[in-house]
A and B are shown apart, each in its own frame.
Chain A
Amino acid sequence: MFVRKLRNYIRGLAIPALLLWASSAFAEYGLNLTQGVTPISREVYDLHMIILYVVTAIGLAVFAVMFWSIFHHRKSKGAVAAQFHHSTSVELAWTIIPVIILVVMAIPATKTLIKMEDTTDAEMTIKVTGLQWKWKYDYLGEDISYFSSLDDRSNSIRKGESSEKAEDYDNYLLEVDNPVVLPINTKIRILTTAADVIHAWWVPALGWKRDAIPGFINDNWTYIEEPGIYRGQCAELCGRDHGFMPIVVNVVSKEDYQTWLTSMKNKPAELDPVKLYKTHCAACHQENGQGLPPVFPALAASPIATGPAEGHIDIVLNGKPGTAMLAFGAQLSNEELAAIITYERNAWGNDTGDSVSAEDVQAAR
């Protein structure tokens, strides 16, 4: 154990030193922005490299002059201070030249930005909804809608419930249970919004991120040219588990995408209450129902989960304003809600014996 830790430490120190020698390895260790897999992401990468070269050149020039001066114009070398303190021509030059450089930079940047904001002529649309702390994907017009949250393997490692360590798992915190599936060579409109707080949907390989904001629907698009699995993360602080709601995009051929669509449509609705509870409730109230007081109250032996069922249905349907408790009525079906509420009223010693039906939930809507 200790030896492995030590080895990791040494690796942490030695590898960057080695990298300085093997510049080809730089890309592998992710020192630079990804080029991505869309025409836009490549343009963004090019802009990034141009501006990086421009500022590097300016920096090297300015610092070269400065360090030459530091080396030569020092008192210990007998330098006598000049007394000039003004030069209109020089000052004009170093005002006008930067302006020209900036204008030259602004032109390609403007062109790319205009392209990025043009979401017309999309061939399909998906809606991405951020929730604490998972994503929901709706395929508009296809009647497909599902949640995507951190995979069990990462989850048990981060909770310390697994014998594995973060180092043992290549996709630690970058894997989900249900990835979003998209076809290649298709202009896809991606709408982002949120149900609770602000999130941001970011897959670096697509070349952009966009905030998912409650009450707003943001418009974006992508056109992915290479099949593959692309990973990203929520990029806007959204509470306790902000670091634990990754995004995985599985990009497949158009044919495979059609097959996937059909299989999703024929899939029977999941009504496993334990799984539903885990997906929608356990992030705050925990799998053992103990919550994380005082922010996230326990459900085990709670007055709401053991009191009248009407109150329980109401808070799940409508949420509790001013807290992290969401209104789940908008996200889940009557059947799913009934399954979850019934489970909560009978698990962890709550033993109310109640069975809440989909009709009860519908009546409360």
Chain B
Amino acid sequence: MSEAAVGHEDHHDDHDHKPTGIGRWLFSTNHKDIGTMYLIFSLIMFFVGGAMAMIIRAELFQPGLQYVDPQFFNSMTTVHALVMIFGAVMPAGVGLANWMIPMMIGAPDMALPRMNNMSFWILPFAFTLLLSTLFMEGGAPAGGWTMYPPLVTQTGNAFPYLIFAVHFLGISSIMGAINIIATVFNMRAPGMTFMKLPLFVWTWIITAFLLIASLPVLAGAVTMLLTDKFFGTSFFIAAGGGDPVMFQHIFWFFGHPEVYILILPAFGIVSQILPTFSRKPLFGYESMVYATASIAFLSFFVWAHHMFTVGMPLTGELFFMYATMSIAVPTGVKIFNWVATMWRGSMTFETPMLFSIAFVVLFSIGGFTGLMMAITPVDFQYHDTYFIVAHFHYVLVTGAVFALFAAVYFWLPKWTGHMYDEGLGKLHFWLSTISVNVLFFPQHFLGLAGMPRRIPDYNVQFAEWNMISSIGGFVFGVSQLILVLVVIKCIRGGEKATDEVWEGAQGLEWTLPSPPPFHTFTVPPQVTDATAHS
């Protein structure tokens, strides 16, 4: 016993040795603390972006202009998207990666801990830049998150802030991606071969490569916007011999992989949770890995389906139609694998499982409308209508965000050492799932009936469904306060969580105590077939 105690001190792996005060967070190089900061930041941004969505839905509650100026309305749709994508969903994914990847692969920390600190601390500054534009002369950016020129160059003083915020967000994400790749490639425990990695780790490696390949393209595109506005270049100005459509090509060459950056970690999360609560191994592990890689690879060849209406040559439209349709195949494989994982399992339905099942159903609906849009001649009708708005909110809210909710409920007991309040969790689930469908399903009808997106006011024929959608929106917004309550309650106390937490849990993170000590796996574990992926 005394020998063990001495060893303890020598290795500084006692959790009592963690730094204290504000310095613990400002100068943190600990993957768990940085993961926590990412997750809290993401939750705050989720409410900032959500508040903007509430303003949008309030204005659209009835026909007529009631609350906001059309310019401010456009700012809300623009900044809502930027905050939700770059502030809520992406940092949440990186936060989960920080917390879980080292524990899942048996590593003591991330490979590049100081860069880890920097990639987080860039975010608050980037969002201060972006959100400060709300109080500027000329208002916040209002040209849409896609920043299409020439409209975006009409932005007032906010313009350079927008560009530099995007630059910072890109730098932060690229550093996070480098860190994840370096960690997984170099710090796997002995015996943890690539084909034994948990699927969450796999989806994150692929996401990290997507980030590294696509974000510099975005940085280049916005830099060209900046020089067009301030330095007399004409990359995208037709009058100067430039090409406004070229921006859209460059933007969506980033933008489509970006969509998968948001959703692939969600695929990983669901692939961890469904086997756990089905008490059965994931069906088709190899095909899951290959399907994810195929989706990521194909994502670089489908960008122009976001811009079918710009007037491409027929051959271009055909190419992008076929390429886009082909993505349905690997995506279908994943859905079928998840259903086969549940098939003949022994299922229980705790909150993470409920959110994962909702993910499979509702993400599929988003996938189906995506397939409909791949049919180019019909997309000429769907494009830039509420049908599109419904589609991408199904894949991003009931897809990406629901998977993030599932992940929080799944790993919260591990992080805090306490079980969360299952009753409140289920309440959060049912309220969210019902209201989110009331919110977004009618938007399919609105789009098909002819309502364009990004308009602050509309004809009375669209009134009923907009009102219903807004009611769903308000309920969904308020329901998210339950999540905050659950998280706070769980941090402060509750039933003690076991190491394994869930009966069917498989993988290295569940061999650690709940909560895990400040430093874990300072001695790498030996991974065998029996302890490998769930």
B377 touches A112 (CB 8 A): yes
**Which residues of B331-351 have CB atoms within 8 Å of chain A's CB atoms?**
332-333, 335-336, 339-340, 342-349
Majority secondary structure, A binding face: mixed
B307 to A, closest residue via Cβ = A211
> Would you mind naming 6 contact pairs between A and B with Cβ atoms under 8 Å apart?
A48-B378, A79-B346, A87-B284, A208-B309, A215-B243, A237-B74
A63 touches B361 (CB 8 A): yes
Chain B residues near A (Cβ < 8 Å): 62-65, 69-71, 74, 137-139, 142-144, 148, 150-151, 153-154, 156, 229, 238-239, 242-245, 278-287, 309-311, 314, 317-318, 321-322, 325-326, 328-329, 332-333, 335-336, 339-340, 342-349, 357, 360-361, 364-365, 368-369, 371-372, 375-378, 380-381, 383-385, 442, 445, 448-450, 452-465, 467-468, 504
Does A75 touch B at the CB level, under 8 Å?
yes
- Which one of B287, B318, B371, B459 contacts A172 once the chains associate, using CB atoms below 8 Å? B459
A51 touches B378 (CB 8 A): yes
B70 touches A243 (CB 8 A): yes
B325 touches A106 (CB 8 A): yes
A102 touches B150 (CB 8 A): no
Cα distance A214–B149 in the bound complex, in angstroms: 10
**Which residues of A72-87 have CB atoms within 8 Å of chain B's CB atoms?**
73-76, 79-87
A232 touches B450 (CB 8 A): yes
Task: Please give, as numbers and ranges, the residues of chain A lying within 8 Å of B381 by CB-CB distance.
Answer: 33, 44, 48, 204, 207-209
B454 touches A237 (CB 8 A): yes
A55 touches B368 (CB 8 A): yes
- Which one of B62, B336, B375 contacts A105 once the chains associate, using CB atoms below 8 Å? B375
- Which one of B287, B329, B368 contacts A58 once the chains associate, using CB atoms below 8 Å? B368
- B78 to nearest A CB, angstroms? 9
Does A216 touch B at the CB level, under 8 Å?
yes
Task: Please give, as numbers and ranges, the residues of chain B lying within 8 Å of A56 by CB-CB distance.
Answer: 368
Most central of B282, B360, B450, B455 by chain A CB within 10 Å: B450
- B344 to nearest A CB, angstroms? 4
B317 to A, closest residue via Cβ = A113
Cα distance A82–B325 in the bound complex, in angstroms: 34
B329 touches A98 (CB 8 A): yes
Q: Can you list, as one digit per residue, whether each of A17-50 has a CB less than 8 Å from chain B (1) or not (0)?
A: 0000000000001111110000000011001100
B464 touches A94 (CB 8 A): no
- Which one of B71, B244, B311 contacts A210 once the chains associate, using CB atoms below 8 Å? B311
Task: Please give, as numbers and ranges, the residues of chain A lying within 8 Å of B464 by CB-CB distance.
Answer: 11-12, 15-16, 29
Task: Please give, as numbers and ranges, the residues of chain B lying within 8 Å of A85 by CB-CB distance.
Answer: 280-285
Task: Please give, as numbers and ranges, the residues of chain B lying within 8 Å of A165 by CB-CB distance.
Answer: 64
Does A70 touch B at the CB level, under 8 Å?
yes
Cα distance A165–B364 in the bound complex, in angstroms: 40
Does A2 touch B at the CB level, under 8 Å?
no
A79 touches B347 (CB 8 A): yes
A43 touches B377 (CB 8 A): yes
A66 touches B372 (CB 8 A): no
Task: Please give, as numbers and ranges, the residues of chain B lying within 8 Å of A86 by CB-CB distance.
Answer: 283-286
- A20 to nearest B CB, angstroms? 13
A117 touches B332 (CB 8 A): no
Cα distance A160–B70 in the bound complex, in angstroms: 13
Task: Please give, as numbers and ranges, the residues of chain A lying within 8 Å of B385 by CB-CB distance.
Answer: 235
A69 touches B151 (CB 8 A): no
Cα distance A47–B379 in the bound complex, in angstroms: 10
B63 touches A233 (CB 8 A): no
Does A218 touch B at the CB level, under 8 Å?
yes
Q: Lowest 8 CB-CB distances: which A-B pairs, in order?
A: A215-B238, A30-B449, A243-B455, A218-B311, A166-B63, A55-B368, A166-B64, A208-B380
A78 to B, closest residue via Cβ = B346
B65 touches A160 (CB 8 A): yes
A239 touches B346 (CB 8 A): no
Instruction: Give me 12 other A-B pairs in contact (C-beta within 8 A), A59-B368, A73-B346, A102-B325 excluded.
Output: A9-B467, A43-B377, A44-B377, A56-B368, A62-B336, A69-B345, A81-B344, A109-B377, A157-B64, A208-B381, A215-B238, A239-B151
Task: Please give, as numbers and ranges, the residues of chain A lying within 8 Å of B377 by CB-CB distance.
Answer: 43-44, 47, 109, 112-113, 116, 208
Known A-B contacts A172-B460, A236-B384; A95 and B329 likewise in contact (beta carbons under 8 Å): yes
- Which one of B309, B340, B349, B459 contacts A174 once the chains associate, using CB atoms below 8 Å? B459
Does A309 touch B at the CB level, under 8 Å?
no
A113 touches B314 (CB 8 A): yes
Does A234 touch B at the CB level, under 8 Å?
yes
Q: Which of A178-186, A192-200, A250-258, A346-354 contacts B (4 or more CB under 8 A)?
A: A192-200
Task: Please give, as numbers and ranges, the residues of chain A lying within 8 Å of B445 by CB-CB distance.
Answer: 29-32
Does A147 touch B at the CB level, under 8 Å?
no
B157 to A, closest residue via Cβ = A294
Known A-B contacts A66-B361, A218-B311; A158 and B448 likewise in contact (beta carbons under 8 Å): no
B452 touches A234 (CB 8 A): yes
Known A-B contacts A73-B347, A207-B380; A202 and B452 likewise in contact (beta carbons under 8 Å): yes
Task: Please give, as numbers and ranges, the residues of chain B lying within 8 Å of A218 by CB-CB distance.
Answer: 310-311
Cα distance A324–B153 in the bound complex, in angstroms: 9
A74 touches B318 (CB 8 A): no
